[in-house]
């Protein structure tokens, strides 16, 4: 299973592709962030996000995309911008024929760290350990995107076990 995790943001949009091998080992295929220029018009930013994500999908061929649910915004304007970025991320996935799964921050932290109220640095450390990376992925948006992908893999694995378990 190969999953693209996306951490949506209007300045940095993090991405990370994680693959679960047959032996259940998790491997980081790629991670990074799409850096947007703050002074660019929103339409240009959205186009850059769309183009970058479709290129990542084409190169790494994930079977699924996972993103974080909107949970909090500083103000209405920030919430609208985040919603636009999420919409473009979903459009990039669906235009490539991929399904999108959405996870709450609590679910992501619980899946990766085992505690839904974990601090950001705890999530980053666990991402590094689970993927056997020598250093914490930078920028933090990339680490968050990897955590979202890991959350989906853990969730899908658990659901498939329940579906195949004898009644």
Q: How many domains does the chain fold into?
A: 1
Residues of the chain with pLDDT > 70, as a percent, come to: 93
* CATH code, 54: 3.30.420.10
Query: Domain range spanning residue 93?
Result: 2-164
| Average pLDDT score, the chain | 92
What is the structure's pLDDT at 69?
Answer: 87
pLDDT at 167 over 80: no
Q: What is the pTM of this model?
A: 0.93
Confidence label for 164 from pLDDT (cuts 50, 70 and 90): low
Q: Give pLDDT tens digits for 118-128.
A: 999 999 999 99
Q: Give pLDDT tens digits for 51-70.
A: 999 999 999 999 999 999 87
The residues annotated as belonging to the active site are 7, 68, 141
What is the structure's pLDDT at 28?
Answer: 98
Confidence label for 157 from pLDDT (cuts 50, 70 and 90): confident
Average pLDDT over residues 82-102: 96
Residues of the chain with pLDDT > 90, as a percent, come to: 80
130: nearest Cα among 19, 33, 12: 19
């Amino acid at each position: 299973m190969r999953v693209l995790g996306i951490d949506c943001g209007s300045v940095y949009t993090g991405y990370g592709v994680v693959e679960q091998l047959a032996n259940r080992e998790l491997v980081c295929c790629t991670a990074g962030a799409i850096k947007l220029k703050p002074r660019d018009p929103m339409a240009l930013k959205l186009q850059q996000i769309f183009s970058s994500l479709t290129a990542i999908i084409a190169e790494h061929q994930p079977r699924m995309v996972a993103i974080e649910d909107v949970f909090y915004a500083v103000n209405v304007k920030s919430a609208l911008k985040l919603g636009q970025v999420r919409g473009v991320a979903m459009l990039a996935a669906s235009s490539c024929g991929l399904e999108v799964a959405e996870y709450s921050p609590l679910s992501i932290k619980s899946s990766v760290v085992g505690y839904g109220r974990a601090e950001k640095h705890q999530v980053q450390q666990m991402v590094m350990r689970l993927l056997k990376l020598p250093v914490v992925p930078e920028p933090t948006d990339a680490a968050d995107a990897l955590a979202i992908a890991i959350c989906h893999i853990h969730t899908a694995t658990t659901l498939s076990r329940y579906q195949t378990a004898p009644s």
